[in-house]
Amino acid sequence: MLELLPPPPTDPLWDLTYEFGTDERLERLNLVLGVYRDHTGSTPVMAAVREAEIRLAERSESKEYRGLSGNEAFNQALLTLVMGPGPGGPADRAAAVQTVAGTGALRLLADLICRTRPGTTVWISDPAYVNHRPILEAAGLEVRTYRWRAADGGFDASGMLHDLSGARREDVVLLQGCCHNPTGVDPSPQDWEAVAELAVRDGWVPFVDLAYHGLGDGLDADLRATRMLAERVPEMLIAVSCSKNFGLYSDRTGCAIVLGASRQAVRHAETAMQNAARTLYSMPPEHGAAVVTTILEDDVLRAAWRAELDVMRGRISANRAELAVCLTALGHGAQADALARQKGMFSMLPLTAHQMLRLRREFAIYGTTAGRVNIAGIPADRIACLAQGIAQVLDTGDPLGGR
């Protein structure tokens, strides 16, 4: 049987990660994977997470199955975190199901879309998170794109709205709620208002991917667009990840949220997601969900977590600002200005695929072929070196042209 399997494509990010692992140069710099690193280059366990784990270990609770929806206290805590506290809001017409990280939430919601309306068209940004298209297509959905990044490196509001004017009532539009991956380019509040007006007018369903909230402008500011959409539209899907803002990368902790126009519709959607989870992985892992619940249900731990999150956000912003200053000093002010306006863990360098290859081969700096780099992964003492490498490949141009 296995001899009949054709050679499958490999994952480009993990291919680069493997190549980095075999690179023996001491100065090598890995900016490929989306993980937060401190000023020394390490990915620490957050103090609030460590304290929550100690408390969980001391309680020594049973490891009995939680059920198809996972940890219900976690689901409620995430629903409150995303939608905001208090009765009478969108959370009253929502259901949440714990998933295997944000990726699992994306896939579970994609399966829900396909189960509801097979062959639905889902619109994603261009460029998009590298796994959006594969997840949606694997679930049997059609994928179209809308413009996101303008030629000057900012947000292409007119291009996006023009493209989405072609979305039909039965379509779904996948939006990144903040800190866009891979570009770092986010809409303004006015742009988000225009998106909401378009969704209400044309009747398509927003599908919000929340993976980086807290790492852009602050937790509540980063959730503002998602909350505003939830207030405006009758139906909405939200995939939530706890990998970045809780540092629970390997614990695979996430949540799928569905908002509906009626409680009955939401109950049916919740049951459909439970049934889909049963055939995909049965039940999600408990540890990360228990950690997040412990933090969010304790006032002191929650305050400590938010303070740590603010420190992480500040370091990412400082890295981006310093990189922009260094690039300006090296004669690349226009590129630096575009970079300085971006938010979150990632930015796209103004480099072609060939120039990114040169950056890797000549300077041991690893980013994706498309130009994405993890701003949160730059050690403090390497920012100037990164800027010099970028400047040198920009100064010599790209003889091959294009991406």
What is the Cα–Cα distance from 134 to 124, expressed in whole angstroms?
A: 11
Are 74 and 157 in the same domain?
A: yes
Are 371 and 335 in the same domain?
A: yes
What tens digit of pLDDT does each residue of 358-383 get?
999 999 999 999 999 999 999 989 99
What pTM was computed for the model? Answer: 0.95
In this prediction, residues 41-66 reach a mean pLDDT of 92
In terms of residue numbers, what domain contains 373? 10-43+315-396
What separation, in Å, do the N-terminal and C-terminal C-alpha atoms of the chain show?
A: 39
Are 287 and 366 in the same domain?
A: no
What is the model's pLDDT at position 380? 85
Say whether pLDDT at 86 is over 80.
no
pLDDT-derived band at 176, boundaries 50, 70, 90: very high
Say whether pLDDT at 85 is over 90.
no
What is the model's pLDDT at position 400? 58
For the ranges 80-89, 164-173, 345-354, 379-388, the lowest mean pLDDT is seen at 80-89
Helix or strand (DSSP H, E) at 16:
helix 12-22
Residue 156 resides in a domain: yes
Q: Are 191 and 352 in contact (CB under 8 A)?
A: no
In this prediction, residues 187-195 reach a mean pLDDT of 97
In this prediction, residues 150-170 reach a mean pLDDT of 95
pLDDT-above-90 percentage for the chain? 84
SS3 386: helix
Question: For residue 96, what are the β-bridge partners?
Answer: 257
Name, in order, each residue with C-beta under 8 angstroms of 298's C-beta and a sequence gap of 6 or more: none
pLDDT-derived band at 12, boundaries 50, 70, 90: confident
What is the Cα–Cα distance from 355 to 401, expressed in whole angstroms?
A: 10
In this prediction, residues 31-39 reach a mean pLDDT of 92
Are 290 and 171 in the same domain?
A: yes
Task: For residue 383, give the CATH number of its domain.
Answer: 3.90.1150.10
Q: Are 209 and 336 in contact (CB under 8 A)?
A: no
Q: Where does 327-394 show beta strands of DSSP type E?
A: 346-348, 365-366, 372-374
Last residue of a domain, one of 233, 268, 297: 297
Are 128 and 277 in the same domain?
A: yes
Residue 306 resides in a domain: no
Residue 80 resides in a domain: yes
Are 359 and 238 in the same domain?
A: no
What tens digit of pLDDT does each residue of 289-326 get?
999 999 999 999 999 999 999 999 999 999 999 999 99
Say whether pLDDT at 403 is over 50.
no
Beta 142-147 vs 121-126: how paired, if at all? parallel
- Chain CA centroid to CA 16, Å: 20
In this prediction, residues 228-243 reach a mean pLDDT of 97
Residue 218 resides in a domain: yes
Last residue of a domain, one of 234, 268, 297: 297
What is the Cα–Cα distance from 43 to 322, expressed in whole angstroms?
A: 21
Task: For residue 221, give the CATH number of its domain.
Answer: 3.40.640.10
What is the model's pLDDT at position 113? 97
Amino acid at 109: L
pLDDT-above-70 percentage for the chain? 99
Q: Are 35 and 376 in contact (CB under 8 A)?
A: yes
Residue 179 resides in a domain: yes
The number of domains in the chain is 2
Are 222 and 359 in the same domain?
A: no
Are 90 and 206 in the same domain?
A: yes
Are 157 and 242 in the same domain?
A: yes
DSSP string computed for 19-42? HHHH---TT-EE--S-----TTS-
Q: What is the dihedral of CA 390, 395, 399, 403, to 10 degrees?
A: 40
Are 223 and 122 in the same domain?
A: yes
Residue 302 resides in a domain: no
What is the model's pLDDT at position 401? 56
Are 211 and 319 in the same domain?
A: no
In this prediction, residues 124-130 reach a mean pLDDT of 96
Whole-number mean pLDDT of the chain?
A: 94
Are 322 and 292 in the same domain?
A: no
Residue 1 resides in a domain: no
Residue 148 resides in a domain: yes
What is the model's pLDDT at position 120? 97
